[in-house]
Amino acid sequence: EANTQAYYIIRAAQEREELQREGDELDNKIQQTERQIRALEKTLNHLYSKNTAYRQSFALVDRSAPLYEQKLLLEEQGHAAVTKFRAARLEQAELEEDMNHMAETQREVGEVRAHE
């Protein structure tokens, strides 16, 4: 009977140790899962704020708002600057063409004088 009692005591201790090990593993899994849940919640909150901002970007604009009026003014100034730039480039091209023509004429006059 002493062997049987010792056997059961040892067996109970082994089972208790196994249960403790399983409990520790479960605790580790729970902690890891909780960390993942917190990370997912943080990502979800970030996406929610980005979606809200994106949705608001489609809201109707108040055409009398100062920012809208400033935008229109800046667009108008931008178009005027582009038009002025294109005109200047065209004038530059015409002047370069005139200079090339004058240089050619000057060269021809120089050749005629050289032959006289």
Mean pLDDT, residues 35-62 taken together: 92
Tell the residue number behind the tokens 């002493």, with chain if given: 2
Of 15, 33, 59, at which residue does a domain stop? 59
* Whether residues 52 and 70 fall in one domain: no
Of 27, 43, 59, at which residue does a domain stop? 59
* Whether residues 30 and 44 fall in one domain: yes
Please state the domain count of the chain.
2
Which pTM does this prediction carry?
Answer: 0.45
* Whether residues 50 and 84 fall in one domain: no
Distance CA 73, CA 67 (A): 10
Q: What is the pLDDT, as a whole number, of residue 82? A: 96
Mean pLDDT, residues 86-105 taken together: 95
Domain that holds residue 47: 1-59
Mean pLDDT of the chain: 92
